Amino acid sequence: MKNFIWKTMSLLALSALFFTSCEDTPSGPVNAIPPDVFVTGPATVQPGNTIELTIEADKGDADLSALTISENGTNMDPARFLTFQVNGSDVTANNPLALNAFPDGFTLVATFEAPATVGDYEYAATVRDANSQTGSHSLTVRVESTPPSVSASNMPSEVVTGQTFFVNVDATKGDFPMTSLSVFEDGLLVDPARLTWDGATFADNPVALSGDQTDALSGTLGITAPSTDGSYAYTIQIADESGTTGETSFDVTINAGTPIDATLTTKLLSNQAGPAGKGALDLDQGLQAGVSTPGETTPDQTEIRDLGLDCTIPTPGFNWRRQIGTVNGAELRMVDLTVLENFTFDAVTTKEEIAGAFDTGITFADGESVDCATGATTPVSDVTNVVEAGDLFVVKSGSTYYLLRIESVNETDTDNLDYYEISIKH
């Protein structure tokens, strides 16, 4: 009985070893040599253009039987291919990826349309042989398009905290229409409430482009500086329909600014045709002189002057021109409130803010004043329009900037004792 039990147990153990061995044995010959495969093609291609892959394969121990080509891990449908050429001959069979006619090896050239979306695409060729052995090789193709061209100009190097600065932006599409504009500060999208385009607040950031802007873009970008000092990197980025982006970058230093030296209130500038020694104004002290005669100061110390009378209007009457120009090489501009939103005279505390208002200000043409008694004319630079109470002007003389607010315009029709009241910061 013991001998019978021992024989039975030995038989069961042998059977278990046999079936286990059968399940673990791989298909095909042990240590079989697989097919050898190599793929070549372009490193880059534009969206929608043709990709040409060359696949070379040689058999290992067994005849080649099938080929698959995948894109990012997904097998490509044979119908997607435009042309096939195997060993130098065009192939028009329904499925040229079946390799029954080329058991020893082949060189296959396949063409197909590149994806429409920009990115990296891995193309892998896998060859199987009659022993179910496989060989594989892959190639990465970068789908990219010519990006939009983006440039920026007139960027400031230094800005006061909280001040809005302005940059001229120009962009032209590359291979595809442009779709959006983004503004980054130190790599992060700027709050759209801090951005303007030609004076209009951004609806979003990125902001969508439409109409003619998809082909070419030109305008003034306004950015309100942060409230914290430091150096900030700004990037203006344009994206197109393919997802390709073009960009330009610049750095701006943000600081607390230089406090203004003085605030002068209700200083007078008289009609130039009025009393002698008046009609021109020294903006440093708020003192008057005549255009060519001394008064509270001397003419060479003045920056602005009044233009006197309109000689075509008979007297008595309201014939004061109510226009201002510059003298002694000074320059005058009007504050452009369509660009400097929320800009006020009272809120200005730094020299940089005044300089910024000058840089974005509205320029004036030169003109002339006329002596109604003699008809003699005198050239005057930067002649304003008719001055109104509340007007804001900026004057630059040398390296000094002056901010002017017209407090009142006082006109008479019986004499030439007309005058402006002006507040000044510098």
Parts of the chain belonging to CATH 2.60.40.2410: 36-143, 149-255
Low pLDDT (below 70) residues in the chain: 1-30, 92-100
246 vs 152: CA distance, rounded Å? 12
pLDDT at 27: 53
pLDDT at 157: 87
Dihedral of alpha carbons 27, 31, 33, 38, sign: positive
Bond prior to 316 in cis (omega within 30° of 0): yes
pLDDT at 128: 94
Which residue's structure tokens are 């789908």?
A: 143
The DSSP result for 283-334, as a single string, is: TTTTEEE-SSS-SSS-GGG--EEE--B-TTS-SSS--B---EEE-TT-EEEE
Say if CB 273 and CB 370 are below 8 A apart.
Answer: no
Contacts of 301 (CB under 8 A, 6+ apart): 282, 284, 285, 287, 289
Q: What is the pLDDT of residues 97-141, one digit of tens each?
A: 666 678 999 999 999 999 988 899 999 999 999 999 999 999 999
Token pair of 91, please? Answer: 């192939």
Which residue's structure tokens are 């000094």?
A: 400
Token pair of 166, please? Answer: 């302005």
Radius of gyration of the chain from its Cα atoms, rounded to whole angstroms: 41
Instruction: Measure Cα distances from 379 to 278, 300, 325, 340 in Å.
Output: 18, 16, 10, 31
302 vs 284: CA distance, rounded Å? 9
Phi-psi label, residue 179: left if phi above 0, alpha if psi -120 to 50, beta otherwise = alpha
Instruction: Provide the whole-model pTM.
Output: 0.56
The DSSP result for 335-401, as a single string, is: --TTTSTT--TTT--BHHHHHHHHHTPEE---EEEE-TTT--EEEEBS--SS--TT-EEEEEETTEE
Distance of CA 138 to the CA centre of its chain: 37
106 vs 89: CA distance, rounded Å? 11
169 vs 147: CA distance, rounded Å? 16
pLDDT at 95: 57
What burial letters (b/e) apply to 403-421, b meaning 16+ CB within 10 Å? Answer: bbbbbebeeeeeebebbbb
End-to-end CA gap in the chain? 121
pLDDT at 98: 63
Q: Is 36-143 assigned to CATH 2.60.40.2410?
A: yes
74 vs 71: CA distance, rounded Å? 5
Say if CB 80 and CB 112 are below 8 A apart.
Answer: yes
pLDDT at 24: 41
pLDDT at 92: 66
Using a 10 angstrom Cβ sphere, with 0-12 exposed, 13-18 middle and 19 or more buried, the burial of residue 93 is exposed
36 three-class SS? strand
Say if CB 308 and CB 376 are below 8 A apart.
Answer: no
Choose which CATH entry (3.40.50.1820, 3.40.50.300, 2.60.40.2410, 3.40.718.10) describes domain 149-255: 2.60.40.2410
Dihedral of alpha carbons 288, 294, 296, 299, sign: positive
pLDDT at 379: 97
The DSSP result for 199-249, as a single string, is: TEEPSSSSEE--GGGGTEEEEEEEEEPPSS-EEEEEEEEEEETTS-EEEEE
Other beta carbons within 10 angstroms of residue 278's beta carbon come to: 24
